[in-house]
Structure formats: C-alpha cells, structure tokens
Amino acid sequence: MGKPGKPRPVTPADSGRRMQMADLARLAGVSTSTVSRALSGSELINPETRERIQTLARKFNYTINSVATGLRSGVQRTIAVIVPFEKASRQSFADPFLHGMIGSLADALTERGYEMLLSRIDADQLDTVAALIDSGRAAGVILIGQWRHHDQLNAMAARGLPLVVWGAHLPHQDYCTVGGDNVRGGRLVAEHLLAQGRRRMVFLGDCGLPEVAQRYRGFTAGLRAGGVGLPAQQRKTVPFLAESGRKAMLALIDANPALDAVFASSDLLAMAAVGALRERQRQVPADVAVVGYDDVELAAHFNPPLSTVRQPIHEAGTALVDALLMMLNGKPAPASALLETRLIVRESSQSTPAP
Amino acid sequence: MGKPGKPRPVTPADSGRRMQMADLARLAGVSTSTVSRALSGSELINPETRERIQTLARKFNYTINSVATGLRSGVQRTIAVIVPFEKASRQSFADPFLHGMIGSLADALTERGYEMLLSRIDADQLDTVAALIDSGRAAGVILIGQWRHHDQLNAMAARGLPLVVWGAHLPHQDYCTVGGDNVRGGRLVAEHLLAQGRRRMVFLGDCGLPEVAQRYRGFTAGLRAGGVGLPAQQRKTVPFLAESGRKAMLALIDANPALDAVFASSDLLAMAAVGALRERQRQVPADVAVVGYDDVELAAHFNPPLSTVRQPIHEAGTALVDALLMMLNGKPAPASALLETRLIVRESSQSTPAP
DNA sequence: GTGCGCATTGCAATCGATTGCATAGAGTTT
DNA sequence: AAACTCTATGCAATCGATTGCAATGCGCAC
C-alpha cells in the first residue's frame, strides 16, 4: 500500500457546514463526477475506487443531498396527503377513521419509495393544494374526503393536476376517486336492522357530504323496501365530532322517545350516540340497536362491541396510491374505484345480546 | 373512451412542461431577475412592472419552484415527524393518542410556516432518521416515543442532529425530550384509586418503555404510601394494542378474581380492559374501577366515560416544535420539558356512579 | 453640452449533484 | 514503434431561482 507520509486532509466539513460531495471528493482525491458515479454504483468506476469512496461516505455520514438531486433530475418522490378541515367546525382530524387511512397511506407510499407530506388545509382554500404541485413540493396529491368541494376538485382535475380523492363517486366528476360503496353500505344496514325487527330508526350524519348522502340514500331505500319510512324528525345533520354527535342524539331521543335503532354515518358518531342513549337510560342493544360506519379499530372493543360497515382501509391506501402513481406515469387517469363494503354485525345491534 | 381533448390555456410552456420563471420572464418581456424580484415584492422593481408580473403569474398559475429555491438558499422548511414502530408487534400507529399528537404537530408546524413529512420507521433502523437530515430532506426531526432506543438517540444527539423526542426524561440523556410528568401521573392514579377504597389493583403496560416504566413507578410508589402492594401476578407486560390488552386483561382477571381496580398505561388498553371485564361479567365501575392514560378524545365518550390522566396534547405539539426550532436557530438545545399532567376523573373509576 | 444622481433592469455566478463527452494512460496488436 | 482498444476518470453544462454588481436611461443642474 502507500506510505503513511502523505498528510491526510483534515475533515473538510468541520466548520459546522454540512458535508457535501465536493468534500468527499477532496478526501478521496478524485472528482465529484467519480464520487457521484461511485455512490450510485456505476460500472464505470473501478471497483476498488468505488468501494473506497463508499466506505468514506459511510464513515463521514455523508448522504447525497436530495434537494440538489431533485432539482437536477426533476423528479419528486414526495406525495402530499391532504386532510381538509372545515374552519367552522374544526372538523375532520379528530376522526379515528382518518387515522387509519393515514397509516395505510403511509405504508403504501413507503413501500413504493415515496415520502408523505401531511397537511391539513382549510377546505375553503383548496387552491393552496395546487400550489403544492405547481411549486414542485409534491409530485401529486391524495385528498381525504371531497367534502363540499366537488366543483373545485373538478377544476383542479381540469388543470391536469395529479390528484386522487378518497370519497364518493359523483355524476359529472372529472377527478378520480377511490371509495367504498356507500349506497350499498347504507342498504345493508337498513336490511340488517329490519331483520332484527327494528322499525323506528334515526339517522345521524351530514348529508351535505357526498359520502354521507349516499349512505343515507342506501339506508332510506332499504327501509322503504321494507315498508319503513324515515321522516324528517328522525334524522339530524351533524358533523363528525363526538360532542356534536352526543347532543344530536340526545335531541333525537327527546323527539322520538320510542326509537329502537340508530344508524350513525361514522363509528365516532355511533360511539357518541351510545353514550347519549346511556344518559337517557336506554340499553344498547336491548332497547336501541346502534350501527356505525367505518369499522375503526376501536369499534370491536367498544362497549358494547359496535356493529358497523367496514371500509377496507388497507386496500384503500393501496388503491389511492396506485391510482395516483398511474397518473404520474402518464397513463390515463384510472377510473374511479369502488371498494368492497360489508356489514360487520357485533353486539350493539343484535336483538338477543350474545351470552 | 371519450375525447381526450384537454382544454389547456395557450401558454408558451404548453408542451406539458411545468411553467417556470424563464417562461414568465419571456411573457413579460423582462429577465428572470426582474421576475424573481417582482414576485418577492422587492422595492427595486417599478411598481407597475411588479404588478404586471404578479398578475401574469397568477393568470398562469405559476408558483416558484421551491426545490430550486431550497437549493439556492440552503434552507429547508420541512420537519420530519417520525413514528417508530416495532416490527414484531406492528405496534404504535394504531394508538389514538398518536393521532392526536400528529394533529397537534401539524397545527403547530403549519402555524410557523413549516411542512410536515410524516414517516413511520422501523424502530430497529433509527439511523435512517439521520439520513433524512443528512440528505437535506428535512431540517429537523421530531420523534414520537423513545421506545427502547435511548442509546441510539443519544448517539444521534451527539452527532448534532436537530432532534426532539416526545417521551420520558431519563438519566444520562443528551437529547431533548418533551413529555408529561409520568411519575406524577402514576401517583395521582394510585391516590385516586386508594381514595375510592380500591385495594386490589392490576397494572397493564410494557415497562420496557421508559414512559410506561415511570407511570408504573409513580403508581407503585403511590400504592406503597397507602400500604398497598402490587405483586408480580397483578401486572402484565403488554404492547399498546387493543387485542393484546384484551387478552392480558382476561389473564389478569383469571389470576386475580378479586381485583377491584385497573390502571392501564394508555386509554386504548383501558378500553380493551373494559371489554375484557365485561366478558367476565364484571361491572365497571361497580366491581372494578378502570383508569387509563392520555385522555384521548374518545375517552370522554366511552361507555362508561373513562377516567384517565390527561396528556396536554396541544401544548405538547407546540412545545416540541418550539424546542426544535430553537435548535435550528442555533440556540443551545433547550432543556427537556415536563408538561402539566392531571387526572380526569370520570365514571369508570367512581365508586358511586354518577346519577 | 456635459456630468451627476437615481430609478430600473440585466448579467452572470451560485447552490449541489448528475451526465455527455473528452481524455489520460495502460495494454494489445501489427 | 505506431496505431488502436478499452478502462477509469475529469471537465463543464445543466436543473430553476436568487442576488451582488454593472449597466442603462432619464431627469436635472451647471
């Protein structure tokens, strides 16, 4: 090997500056081109040199600056996941369903080598979403829930922004959605409750949101098929917030003392409803059956265990990410997807409680 | 299927390429220097020109490329929020407490003009966290939970990485933590349960995690002060997972048929414990009092409403972000912070249930 | 008419990594 | 020994925005 005579340059970046490729090149006595190729494992570089440079990089904790790489290559491996919230109600982020969705998206993105930029934004300023892409901070956007902003989403899609939305598929929709079959979900609940002999139902949820509206449609259609109606005093418009759910349920009980079943458009609302029923000395499920929506993890561990419509959260994350990556690869925007939706019957809606 | 005709505005950068400053400069008949200054509102630029350029930018949805800006300026306004998970148990992301924390961090970061990169990483590969910073993808890191990795965290701090951890403050700790006063939390629970006349307690939680260990220490210290012990068969090591909690609780009931109180180290575990108690026909709180930890949103709406130790989640987000930003501004790493911790007594632990 | 000051604007270098092309040098062939 | 290969490496342009400094042009004073 060489003689120890040559004075090794001292750590180049010990001025507190972040180490960069030029420093490593100086240390290795080569050019940055060589370092770049060595670190990327190029065959052009002499295996010994390559190994030496890689060792050096490890030793100095050098990692290629991905901002510079991103600029040069023009590719972005960051996806923005947006959780819109309504300023008025501060609604949305509290829902455990969202939590599951975010976890699932995190997994799907990581698996495919993407990073996740998570952002809550005011639903009234959805256009800031476009800026995320225009400014190159994210390659594409996954939006959780379309809320009341169908038209804005259509406009964004028209601009060609890579966008996928978790939510309902609507008529005249130019953007791509992935979601459960809400109409079917609502119908399943109606059929189940009818089969349990329930007749005086109430509904909790905000039909101003497309997903909820579809669940409601399926639910009332199912009831109608069984000869049961759902007059106005048997439903209550309420945001996805536990406390609102509790208050709304109390009001519904007072307005319908004889009610025997509740369909809540989310598990969170269903849980709040159970609390309200308890406050009014109603037994669940003996007096009143309760069915939620989403099948969040806690639903199975609630007291009593909650019947609910399962949204396949894991598949949802995968489907959302795959749809978006397709758009990013220039393939035609995939058609909106409807994921499997099924009813999970637990104790909260059974006429004869499990032993 | 249909006509792929896209209604695109006629722009000079119409080849599908993203609009950039040079395009805008050409449109405005000026140089990119002028555009740059105009968009940043520089006083150097003629007000009319400035206005004209800004209008043009808005019209073409032009947003400055923040990758290029980031490279040039060398500043990063992205903070990585890391949720470590244990490969074996896939533990962590399911806990609703985390969800609250992430929301709180999102708010605090947004308020200060930072973006949040959310990442779950294998707790055994914490060193990939360092790469996030070395590669310039994030300016700093907020880690939720120190888990079993005190030494690795110390090593990262020694390297000078901007890092703040939500968790317990430990002896010989070189990194900055923000957390609740876990010892006090545990003691409060002990005192409360003793005051309720409970004597045969059980504990649910994994004392391999520093936070849980502190809660346990406070709890047993409080019990000891009241002359009550907690022998080994009255505690169970269990990860923060509902199903594990349920099983562990069933085992504890079988081993201690006469138990009259449960302290669970998280609300999730407490809820699972209530379910298990119910399976074994124990009434909560009449037969067995249950206290959780965290005060997640659902705790108040559980059945029965759950007594718990509140972790001030909103302050936590603010404190974590502020501590990190201080480090990033070159100020000395702030001392670890202990946030206020208090007991919220609800129905699940009262000897006489509320009317 | 010449010179000076001021308001605007443009030029060119820079941030850090990548890559097409050029080149040094060792080895081989004729 | 000249010509030619082939391998390993370096040079310099490039990605898109920013900014110190230079330059332009106009108004105004002498």
pLDDT in tens, B116-162: 999 998 888 888 999 999 999 999 999 998 888 899 999 999 998 99
- Is B159's CB within 8 Å of A61's CB? yes
Residue nearest C13, CA–C1′ metric:
B72
pLDDT value at position A335?
A: 85
Q: Where are the alpha helices (DSSP H) in chain B?
A: 21-28, 32-39, 47-59, 66-73, 96-111, 127-134, 150-158, 182-195, 210-225, 242-255, 267-279, 313-328
pLDDT tens per residue across span A107-126: 999 999 999 999 998 888 88
> Average pLDDT over chain B, rounded to whole?
90
- Cβ neighbors of B245 (< 8 A, separation 6 or more) are B204, B238, B264, B268, B269, B270, B271, B272, B273, B276
- Is B94's CB within 8 Å of A61's CB? no
Distance (Å) from CA A45 to C1' D7?
9
Distance (Å) from CA A67 to C1' C3?
50
* DSSP element (H, E) containing A35: helix A32-39
CB atoms within 10 A of CB B320: 28
Q: Which of B19, B130, B302 sits opposite A61 (nearest CB)?
A: B130
State what percent of residues in chain B have pLDDT above 90.
81
A260: three-class secondary structure by DSSP: coil
Which nucleotide's C1' sits nearest to the alpha carbon of A37? C18
Determine if the peptide bond prior to A171 is cis (ω within 30°): no
- Is A303's CB within 8 Å of B303's CB? yes
A79: three-class secondary structure by DSSP: strand
- Is A94's CB within 8 Å of B297's CB? yes
pLDDT tens per residue across span B57-107: 999 999 999 999 999 999 999 999 999 887 766 655 678 899 899 999 999
Nucleotides of chain C in contact with protein CB (under 7 A) are 7-12, 14-20
Is residue A228 within 8 A of residue A219, CB to CB? The reply is no
Q: Is any Cβ of chain B less than 8 angstroms from the Cβ of A281?
A: no
Write out the two tokens for B30. 């000026």
CB atoms within 10 A of CB A284: 24
Is residue A38 within 8 A of residue A49, CB to CB? The reply is yes
Residue B191 burial class via C-beta count within 10 angstroms: exposed 0-12, middle 13-18, buried 19 and up: middle
pLDDT value at position B90?
A: 60
**Does the structure show a pLDDT above 70 at B335?**
yes
How far is residue A236 from each of residues A204, A264, A280, measured CA to CA in Å? 5, 10, 18
Provide, as residue numbers in chain B, all residues whose Cβ is less than 8 Å from the Cβ of A66: 135-137
Determine if the peptide bond prior to B285 is cis (ω within 30°): yes
Confidence band, pLDDT 50/70/90 cuts, at residue B7: very low
Show which of residues 118-177 on chain B sit within 8 Å of chain A, judged by CB atoms: 118-120, 130-131, 134-137, 159
Burial B25-52 (b: 16+ CB within 10 A, else e): bebbebeeebbbbbbeeeeebeeebbee
- d(CA B181, CA B167) in angstroms, rounded, equals 10
Arithmetic mean of pLDDT, B195-199:
95
CA dihedral angle for residue B98, residue A113, residue B107, residue A312, rounded to 10 degrees: -60
Is residue A272 within 8 A of residue B305, CB to CB? The reply is no
In chain B, the residue whose alpha carbon lies closest to the alpha carbon of A333 is B4
**Does the structure show a pLDDT above 70 at A199?**
yes
Q: Which of A120-134, A300-314, B46-60, B286-300 has the lowest mean pLDDT?
A: A120-134
In chain A, the residue whose alpha carbon lies closest to the alpha carbon of B118 is A116
For A139, phi then psi, to 5°, come to -80, -30
Closest C-alpha among B280, B281, B264 to residue B272:
B264
Confidence band, pLDDT 50/70/90 cuts, at residue A352: low
Distance (Å) from CA B31 to C1' C2?
32
Distance (Å) from CA B51 to C1' D27?
24
Distance (Å) from CA B69 to C1' C11?
20
Distance (Å) from CA B28 to C1' D21?
24
Provide, as residue numbers in chain B, all residues whose Cβ is less than 8 Å from the Cβ of A302: 271, 275, 302-303
Q: Is any Cβ of chain A less than 8 angstroms from the Cβ of B286?
A: no
Which nucleotide's C1' sits nearest to the alpha carbon of B46? C8
- Is A298's CB within 8 Å of B242's CB? yes
- d(CA B34, CA B29) in angstroms, rounded, equals 10
For B115, phi then psi, to 5°, come to -105, 160
State what percent of residues in chain B have pLDDT above 70.
93
Is residue B159 within 8 A of residue B191, CB to CB? The reply is no
Arithmetic mean of pLDDT, A270-276:
96
Distance (Å) from CA A108 to C1' D17?
33
In chain A, the residue whose alpha carbon lies closest to the alpha carbon of B2 is A332
pLDDT value at position B200?
A: 96
Using a 7 A cutoff on CB, list residues near strand D.
Answer: A 29-34, 37, 44-47, 49-50, 68, 71-72, 74; B 18, 20-22, 32-33, 36-37, 39-40, 64-65, 68-69, 71-73
**Does the structure show a pLDDT above 80 at A92?**
no
Strand runs labelled E in chain A = 78-85, 115-122, 140-144, 163-166, 176-180, 201-204, 235-236, 261-264, 289-294, 307-310, 337-339, 342-344
Distance (Å) from CA A46 to C1' C26?
14
Q: Is any Cβ of chain A less than 8 angstroms from the Cβ of B77?
A: no
Q: Is any Cβ of chain A less than 8 angstroms from the Cβ of B90?
A: no
Which of B85, B135, B294 to substitute to test the interface with A, most A CBs within 10 Å? Answer: B135
pLDDT value at position A15?
A: 53
pLDDT value at position A85?
A: 83
- Is B106's CB within 8 Å of A117's CB? no
- Cβ neighbors of B90 (< 8 A, separation 6 or more) are none
Confidence band, pLDDT 50/70/90 cuts, at residue A177: very high
Which of B114, B137, B278, B306 to substitute to test the interface with A, most A CBs within 10 Å? Answer: B137
pLDDT value at position B145?
A: 87
* DSSP element (H, E) containing A213: helix A210-225
How far is residue A204 from each of residues A246, A270, B47, B129, measured CA to CA in Å? 10, 8, 55, 43
pLDDT tens per residue across span A121-168: 888 888 899 999 999 999 999 999 888 889 999 999 998 899 999 999
> Average pLDDT over chain A, rounded to whole?
90
pLDDT value at position A90?
A: 60
How far is residue A33 from each of residues A20, A29, A60, A253, measured CA to CA in Å? 13, 12, 19, 74
pLDDT value at position A334?
A: 80
CA dihedral angle for residue B301, residue B302, residue B303, residue B304, rounded to 10 degrees: -90
- Is A278's CB within 8 Å of B303's CB? yes
- d(CA A96, CA A94) in angstroms, rounded, equals 6
Is residue A80 within 8 A of residue A164, CB to CB? The reply is no
Q: What end-to-end distance do the CA atoms of chain B give, in Å?
A: 64
Which of A98, A101, A118 to substitute to test the interface with B, most B CBs within 10 Å? Answer: A118
* DSSP element (H, E) containing B180: strand B176-180
Provide, as residue numbers in chain B, all residues whose Cβ is less than 8 Å from the Cβ of A99: 96, 98-99
- d(CA B239, CA B250) in angstroms, rounded, equals 15
**Does the structure show a pLDDT above 50 at B3?**
no
Closest C-alpha among A33, A227, A297 to residue B94:
A297
Distance from CA of A354 to the nearest CA of B (A): 10
Provide, as residue numbers in chain B, all residues whose Cβ is less than 8 Å from the Cβ of A242: 297-298, 300-301
Distance from CA of B88 to the nearest CA of A (A): 16
Arithmetic mean of pLDDT, A201-206:
96
- The residue that leads in pLDDT, B146 or B167, is B167
- d(CA B137, CA B125) in angstroms, rounded, equals 18
pLDDT tens per residue across span B245-295: 999 999 999 999 999 999 999 999 999 999 999 999 999 999 999 999 999
- The residue that leads in pLDDT, B104 or B11, is B104
* DSSP element (H, E) containing A37: helix A32-39
Burial B66-101 (b: 16+ CB within 10 A, else e): bbbbbbeeeebbbbbbbbbbbeeeebbbbbbbbbbb
Closest C-alpha among A181, A226, A223, A227 to residue A202:
A223
Closest C-alpha among B154, B269, B151 to residue B206:
B269
- d(CA A152, CA A299) in angstroms, rounded, equals 34
pLDDT value at position B177?
A: 96
Is residue B98 within 8 A of residue B118, CB to CB? The reply is no
Distance from CA of A215 to the nearest CA of B (A): 24
Distance from CA of B76 to the nearest CA of A (A): 9
- Is B274's CB within 8 Å of A305's CB? no
Closest C-alpha among A175, A181, A177, A166 to residue A100:
A166
CA dihedral angle for residue B40, residue B41, residue B46, residue B52, rounded to 10 degrees: 80
Which of A303, A313, A329, A347 to substitute to test the interface with B, most B CBs within 10 Å? Answer: A303
**Does the structure show a pLDDT above 60 at A72?**
yes
- d(CA B346, CA A136) in angstroms, rounded, equals 49
Show which of residues 232-271 on chain A sit within 8 Å of chain B, judged by CB atoms: 242-243, 245-246, 268, 271
> Residue A295: left if φ>0, alpha if ψ -120 to 50, beta else—which one?
left
CA dihedral angle for residue A284, residue B290, residue B258, residue B280, rounded to 10 degrees: 30
Distance (Å) from CA A63 to C1' D27?
56
Closest C-alpha among B307, B268, B339, B314 to residue B111:
B314
